[in-house]
Amino acid sequence: MYSSNQGYPRMGQDREWKRTLEQFWKKEMSEEEFSARMKKLKSIHVKKQADAGIHIVPAGDFTYYDQMLDTAFMFNLIPERHKSDHPLSLGSYFSMARGSDDAHACAMKKWFDTNYHYVVPEWEEDYEPRLNFNKPLEDYLEAKEAAECKPVIIGPYTFIILSKGCHSLKEAADKLLPLYIQCFRELKEHGAELVQVDEPAFVYEGLEEDLHVIFSIYEAFAEAVPDLKLLIQTYFEAPEAYEKLTALPVSGWGLDFTKGNTIELLKTHGFPKDKILAAGIVDGRNIWRTNGAAALDLLYFLIHEVQPADLHIQPSCSLIHVPETAEGEDGLPEGLLENLAFAQEKLEEVVTLVNAENADAREKILQWSTSSQPEAGPSSKSLRRAQSFSERTRLQQRVFRLPELPLTTIGSLPQTKEVRRNRKSFKDGTITKDQYERFIQEETKRWINIQEELGMDVLVHGEFERNDMVEYFGENLDGFAFTRKGWVQSYGSRGVKPPVIYDDVQWRGPITRDLTLYAQSLTEKPVKGMLTGPVTILNWSFAREDRFSESIAWSIAQALRKEVHALEEAGIRMIQIDEPAFREGLPLKASKQESYSRWAVNAFRASHYDVKAETQIHTHMCYSEFSEMLPVISEMDADVLSIEASKGGGELIRTFKDFQYDKSIGLGVYDIHSPRIPSVKEMEAVIRHCLEVLPAERFWINPDCGLKTRSEAEAVKSMENMAKAARIVRESLKQTV
């Protein structure tokens, strides 16, 4: 039996990786120094895994930004607008990820059902990919001195399925095949024996139709590089068409035993003889200790299915979805730390499991947490608002008297150095609570004025008091705990530190009321109350595993409902309940999606359904594949939905042709992840494009998402251009009437 791993967190224990990237972007570091530092970090990651006792360490999972972007770059899938003189320039690479002055960034989407965002590769018309360089090989050569390594690469099927602009799987596969083969050959020549080929898209229903192409791909590989062992790695669910798929001519399979019915599949159909099984027993997506007794049972079963020499024990997926180590987390509620397992602790678990023949190891395993049976979730009640959307809008419009195409923003405003410095000083105790609160008020006031001057119709207070939209509510509700360094990569250099929901969630008293009221006292225009929704709080936390998700979502919704009422009673008339992570918990298999959608919609509605008809409820969503979810989103019944739309190249806009969304909606008119300032003309065009499919009476104008990551100058300038574009379109609407 071997211990193995699929991928290691990139951030660095003290977020060194993030800092290196950001310094380089700010031009505070030369390209040579940047490469040298990254190389160093990469080798530290390899060493940490080897030191933990992992036999087979992945090479090629490390990246400057994202693994899909790496793969696209390697195959020279660089859109024309990002090309520079040198095909391998870091300029092109980061311009694809983040956009540049004259080229918008590639789209970014969530990686399966996680909160990790990947860069979507683009196939341009008649594109001929070629191999720019061999990334897994380079990383392999660097790592192999320090550890026994397995190069990892994203498999062709998954790469193509997740790309955009390629019309035929077969055609794209034909173009990529020789490049993969060359990669594999070079790896073999340099001593690699086993390669992990990630094919998570094999878990999607509908795979059956593509099986013939998949077979032709892997048959070609088997023929071209017969002595190289390819291990197909799937995760987040059981693979589809298991029986047929496992007949592929490859050397082994990596399967996720923590999700879906993987065990049943093996029990029913067996596992192909003489193949390697890389068994994901330790859950790579949560932060809890493995249930030791259950893991041992599974291990005994697997030992009878597979020759020990062919059995690899590993986490269920790459560990980029969890923080690096729980060591040093000494500020947690009592008893919690013993139950936590971050990446390093998970690797220790893997190693201990491999040693399970040893009685001491078994003893240790049995002491890992054992969770009790999940309790029953809430029964679904009637959670509808008393009036229909059209009645509500009529009443609301009487109160608000908004102009056509109302202008607003999504909530957060620039978290400048000053904001962060003050927060830190408050935490460190170098300024008092009073001083801190005064600073937040000043900043809020300054921005209320800016928004008024820019002509926004619905204002926001700016969220300066929040470090993070989930953390902030977690800190102010009971039942949440916080780690010191539990960072997880979200996209690029951005990390999040998910709270841990370890106990019942309870409302302690008003959280957002006072600051919202303060902001409202400064202006005649409506200020939106700003809350993070129950489904998002759940999906962006590490929640207990011994309770049904729906039951946790429900209890968060109950707490938020009290906050909604506190705002309403204080006179706040618009409340936005953000649900950017609404889609993340959606099961990957279509057949399991309905029940999730039902309880998620219920939890959202439960957070506000009994407000007055005049109270306008907004929600916001971003950076997920929402097109197919629109009917469900509509069921959420928010009066106004703002949704990110500019990254996907107008894809979402097109879906509104077929789906009649019948409530108010603002499709984001510009991408806030890019430092690039969109021109008035550009935004005007986007708005007009939206108005081809959505009626002006129900259309709002807003950016894609909150502006916290932008500088003040960038935010002001883009809002100004957005407002100008809105005025131009409003004028022309008047003329056409």
User: Which chain residues interact with ligand MET by CB under 6 A?
Assistant: 410-412, 463, 469, 530, 578, 580, 620, 622, 705-706, 708
637, amino acid identity: D
The residues facing 506 across adjacent strands are: 478
Q: Is 620 annotated as a binding residue?
A: yes
Nearer to ligand MET, 547 or 708 (CB): 708
The nearest distance, CB 409 to ligand MET, in angstroms, is 7
The nearest distance, CB 476 to ligand MET, in angstroms, is 16
Q: Is 150 annotated as a binding residue?
A: no
The nearest distance, CB 330 to ligand MET, in angstroms, is 30
The nearest distance, CB 626 to ligand MET, in angstroms, is 13
Nearer to ligand MET, 342 or 670 (CB): 670
> Which has the closest alpha carbon to 640: 451, 407, 322, 444?
407
The nearest distance, CB 578 to Zn ion, in angstroms, is 7
Q: Is 321 annotated as a binding residue?
A: no
3-state DSSP assignment of residue 737: coil
Nearer to Zn ion, 172 or 622 (CB): 622
DSSP 315-351: ESS-GGGS-S--TT--SSPTTTGGGB--HHHHHHHHH
Q: Is 411 annotated as a binding residue?
A: yes
Q: Is 618 annotated as a binding residue?
A: no
What's the rounded Cα separation, in Å, for the pair 437 and 307?
63
| Catalytic sites, residue numbers | 673
Q: Is 317 annotated as a binding residue?
A: no
3-state DSSP assignment of residue 252: strand
Report residue 291: phi and psi, to 5°: -70, 105
Name which of ligand MET, Zn ion, none residue 563 binds, using a CB cut-off of 5 to 8 Å depending on partner kind.
none
Question: To the nearest 10°, the Cα dihedral for 234, 238, 244, 247?
Answer: 40
- CA of residue 121 relative to chain centroid, distance: 17
Nearer to ligand MET, 135 or 461 (CB): 461
CA dist list (Å): 512 to 5, 500, 559:
43, 21, 13
The nearest distance, CB 377 to Zn ion, in angstroms, is 28
> DSSP assignment, residue 392?
H
Which parts of 152-259 fold into alpha helices (H)?
A: 156-161, 169-189, 211-224, 242-245
Q: Is 644 annotated as a binding residue?
A: yes
Q: Is 690 annotated as a binding residue?
A: no
> DSSP assignment, residue 289?
P
Name which of Zn ion, ligand MET, none residue 488 binds, using a CB cut-off of 5 to 8 Å depending on partner kind.
none
Nearer to ligand MET, 316 or 415 (CB): 415
Question: To the nearest 10°, the Cα dihedral for 194, 198, 200, 202?
Answer: -60
Nearer to ligand MET, 169 or 621 (CB): 621
Name which of ligand MET, Zn ion, none residue 63 binds, using a CB cut-off of 5 to 8 Å depending on partner kind.
none
Q: Is 106 annotated as a binding residue?
A: no
Name which of ligand MET, Zn ion, none residue 469 binds, using a CB cut-off of 5 to 8 Å depending on partner kind.
ligand MET
349, amino acid identity: E
Which secondary-structure segment (H or E) carries 151?
Answer: strand 149-154
Burial bucket for residue 46 (CB in 10 Å: 0-12, 13-18, 19+): buried
Nearer to Zn ion, 152 or 705 (CB): 705
Q: How many helices (H) and strands (E) does the chain have?
A: 25, 20
Q: Is 368 annotated as a binding residue?
A: no
Q: How many CB atoms lie within 10 A of CB 587?
A: 17
Residue least distant from ligand MET (Cβ):
706
Task: Yes or no: say if 255 and 279 are a contact pair by the CB < 8 Å rule.
Answer: yes
The nearest distance, CB 704 to ligand MET, in angstroms, is 9
> Which has the closest alpha carbon to 108: 648, 642, 700?
648
Burial bucket for residue 301 (CB in 10 Å: 0-12, 13-18, 19+): middle
What's the rounded Cα separation, in Å, for the pair 95 and 86?
13
The nearest distance, CB 604 to ligand MET, in angstroms, is 15
Measured between its terminal Cα atoms, the distance across the chain in Å is 75
The nearest distance, CB 488 to Zn ion, in angstroms, is 18
Task: Yes or no: say if 252 and 218 are a contact pair by the CB < 8 Å rule.
Answer: no
Which secondary-structure segment (H or E) carries 405?
Answer: none
What's the rounded Cα separation, in Å, for the pair 317 and 7?
8
Q: What tokens appear for 473 in the block?
A: 């509510």
Binding site for Zn ion (CB under 5 A): 580, 622, 705
646, amino acid identity: S
Name which of Zn ion, ligand MET, none residue 45 binds, using a CB cut-off of 5 to 8 Å depending on partner kind.
none
Nearer to Zn ion, 575 or 705 (CB): 705
Q: Is 76 annotated as a binding residue?
A: no
3-state DSSP assignment of residue 528: strand
> DSSP assignment, residue 589?
S
3-state DSSP assignment of residue 491: strand
Nearer to ligand MET, 356 or 530 (CB): 530
Report residue 100: phi and psi, to 5°: -140, -175
Nearer to Zn ion, 312 or 676 (CB): 676
The nearest distance, CB 466 to ligand MET, in angstroms, is 8
Sign of CA dihedral 312, 316, 321, 322: negative
Q: Is 622 annotated as a binding residue?
A: yes
Burial bucket for residue 86 (CB in 10 Å: 0-12, 13-18, 19+): exposed
Binding site residues for 5-methyltetrahydropteroyltri-L-glutamate, as ranges? 18, 115, 540
Binding site residues for Zn(2+), as ranges? 620, 622, 644, 705
Binding site residues for L-homocysteine, as ranges? 410-412, 578
Binding site residues for L-methionine, as ranges? 410-412, 463, 578
Binding site residues, as ranges? 18, 115, 410-412, 463, 540, 578, 620, 622, 644, 705
